[in-house]
Chains A and B, each alone.
Chain A
Amino acid sequence: MGRPASYRMLMFSVAAVAGWLTLWAWLTRDGGPVPALYFPPPEDVLNRFWRMWTRPYIGSTLWQHILSSLYIVLTGWAAAAVVGIPLGIAMAWWSKLKWIVFPIFQIIRPVPPLAWIPLTILWLGIGDVARMSVVFIAALVPWLMNSMLAVYSVDKLLIDAAKALGASDRQILTRVVCRTALPTLVAAARMALGSAWSTLVAAEILAATAGLGYVAVNASQLLDTDVLIVAMIMIGILGIALTALIELSQRILAPWSLQAERRG
C-alpha cells in the first residue's frame, strides 16, 4: 500500500533536488545576482573537484586529504570505544565505580570537546596525536554515556529470569546484558562518530597539515570559494557515508532493533 506513495515521494524529492541545483546555477550564472567569489556556480565546483582529485592542492590530492581525515577520526573514535564501552558497562554494573568516575565526567562534559584543542596543541603540538586526542575526547562521552544507558535499558525481568535459570553474574553480563544492549551500543557508535567527525573538522581548521578542514580554512584565506565548497560537500558526503556504514552494521549485527529505532 505504501509503495506507490513512497515511490512518488522519491520522484518528488529527486525533482526537488534538481530544482535546487537549477536555482543554484541560475543565481550564480555569469552576471547573475551572486558573484562567484561569494558562491561559485556548480560547474566551477565540478571542475575544481576534478582538478583536486587529479592534482595536489596544498600538498595533497583530495583523496589523500580525505584519507587523512578518515584516519584521524576513525582512530580517535575507535580508541574512545575501547575505553568507553568497557568503562560504561562496568560503571553501570558496579555502582561504586560509577560513584567514583561519574562526577569527574560530569565536570568535564559541559566543556565543548573542541575547546580542548588549544590545550592539546600546547601539550602535544600540531601533529596527528593532538587531533586524535581531541577526537577521542569528543567520542568518549557519547560512547560511555550510552554504554551505561545500554546496560540500564536491559529489562530487569530478563536478568531475573537468567538468575532463576542459574546463570552467574558473569554469565548474565556476557550472555544477557551485552546482547540485549547491542542496539543501544549501535546508537552510541553513531552518536560518537557524529561528535568525532564534527570536532575533527574544527581541529583541522585550527591545527593540521592535511585533511578536509585544513583544505577549507586555506581555501577561505586564499578566497578559493570553489575549493571551499568542494571541501564542505566532501565533509557532508563523508558524514552521510559514515552514518550509512553504521546503519548497515546495525542491519547485520542487530536486525531486530531497526523497526523500533525508526519509530523512536
Chain B
Amino acid sequence: MIDAVLARMGVVSNRGKSVAYGALSIAVLLIAWFLSTSVFQLIEPRVLPSPPEVVQKYIWHIVEPFSGLTLWGHILASLERWGWGVFFGMIVGIPVGVFFAWAPWFRTIVNPIFELLHFIPPFAYIPLAVLWFGASTATQAMVVFIAAFPAFVINSQLGVSQVEKIYVDAARVFGANQFAILRRVVIPAAAPSIYTGLRISISNGWMALVGAELVVGKVGLGFMISQGQENASVSTIFVGLITIGCLGVLIDTLVQRSERYVLPWRKNVAVNLG
C-alpha cells in the first residue's frame, strides 16, 4: 500500500523509497510518543516527558544556567577535557605506534604491557584517575587519553608497517637518510591509516568522557545527565543525550570532511592527459 502511494508521488528508486520509509517510521514513533504523553496521558511525565516538554527544557537549558552554566558552558567544558585527552593521546600514541613498526625490539618489550592495559576498559580507570587527581579536569582528560591512546598506536603502527618497500628504496636512491625517509615517505604514506586512528580515538574518547563525567565533576554534559537523574528530571537527561549524540555525529563528520584538506593527494582524480 505504501509502495503504491509512493509510486503515485513519483518515488520509485530504492534510495527514495528508503528515505520515505525511514521518515515515515520516525514520524510514527514521534506521533506515538506525542499521543501517549501529551494527548492521552498514558505515561506519567515523571517517567517520560512529552515532546513539547523536552523542547521547552532544551530551550530553557540554552538560556538559563543549570548548576552554574548554560548548555553552551557545559558543552565547552566537555569539549575542553575531551580535546586535552585526545591531544595527549595523539602526541604520545602516534610516535609510539611509528616506533613500534620502526623498531621491532621496542614493540616486543612494550607490547605485553600495552595488550594487558588495552584489555582493561577505559571506564575501569575512572576510579584510579579520581584517586590520583580528584575531581579535576586532569581526571577526565586522563580517562579520555586512555580511551584514545590505543587506536593511535595500533593504526599508526599498521600504517607504517604497510608502507611499500619500493618508496623507501626510491628515497634511498636519491640520498635520503633515515630521518628524511621517515618524514617524507613513511609518515605521509601512513597518514591515511593514522587518520583512521584519529577517527576511532575521537569517538572512543568522547564515549569515555561521558562516562567520566557521569562519575565525577561539577560541569559537562555527562554531569548534566547525572544531575537529571538526581533531580528525577527525565527531560534534562533527554537534553543531555540529544546534545551528546549530535555533537558526536558533528565531530565525526568534521573529521571525515577534513581528511581531503589534510591529505590533499588522496583526492585521486585521474586527469589522464598523457
Contacts and interface: CB of A to CB of B under 8 A. Distances in A.
Interface of A: 9, 12-13, 16-17, 19-20, 38, 95-96, 98-104, 107-108, 110-112, 114-119, 121-123, 197-199, 201-202, 205-206, 213, 216-217, 219-220, 223, 225, 228, 231-233, 235-237, 239-240, 243
A205 B215 contact: yes
8 contacts: A110-B245, A118-B228, A118-B229, A198-B124, A201-B123, A205-B126, A228-B128, A232-B128
Contact of A197 (B14, B22, B121, B131): B121
B214 A202 contact: yes
Interface stretch (B83-91, B174-182, B187-195, B205-213): B205-213
A213 B124 contact: yes
Nearest to B23: A103
Contact of B22 (A16, A103, A115): A103
A197 to B, nearest CB: 6
B108 interface: yes
Which 5 pairs between the two chains have the least Cβ-Cβ distance?
A198-B121, A220-B127, A99-B21, A118-B229, A103-B22
Interface stretch (B164-172, B233-241, B255-263): B233-241
A117 to B, nearest CB: 7
B128 A220 contact: yes
Contacts of A121: 229
B186 interface: no
Contacts of B228: 118
B249 interface: yes
B214 A107 contact: no
A103 B222 CA distance: 25
B219 interface: no
Interface in B221-274: 222, 225-226, 228-229, 232, 234, 237, 240-241, 244-246, 248-249, 252
Contacts of B214: 114-115, 117-118, 202, 206
B132 interface: yes
B39 interface: no
Contacts of A206: 214-215, 226
B18 interface: yes
Given A99-B17, A225-B131, A115 B121 contact: no
Contacts of A201: 121, 123-124
B109 interface: yes
B40 interface: no
Contacts of A111: 241, 244-245, 248
A239 B215 CA distance: 22
B120 A112 contact: no
B26 interface: yes
Contact of A112 (B113, B119, B207): B207
Nearest to A119: B237
Contacts of B116: 236
A102 B122 contact: no
A235 B122 CA distance: 11
Contacts of B25: 99-101, 103-104
A100 B21 CA distance: 6
A216 B241 contact: no
B97 to A, nearest CB: 18
Contact of A13 (B47, B111, B222): B111
Contact of B240 (A99, A115, A223): A115
B210 A115 contact: yes
Contacts of B245: 107-108, 110-111
Given A100-B24, A199-B123, A232-B125, 16 more contacts: A16-B109, A16-B110, A16-B112, A17-B113, A98-B18, A99-B17, A103-B26, A107-B26, A110-B248, A112-B206, A112-B207, A114-B214, A115-B244, A198-B123, A216-B128, A220-B128
Given A115-B210, A123-B47, A202-B211, A95 B18 contact: yes
B112 A17 contact: yes
A28 to B, nearest CB: 14
Interface string B93-112: 00000000000000011111
A118 B226 contact: yes
A115 B18 contact: no
B123 A213 contact: yes
Contacts of B210: 112, 114-115
B240 A100 contact: no
Contacts of B124: 198, 201, 213, 216, 231-232, 235-236
A239 B120 contact: yes
Given A99-B18, A112-B244, A118-B237, A228 B215 contact: no
A13 B102 CA distance: 18
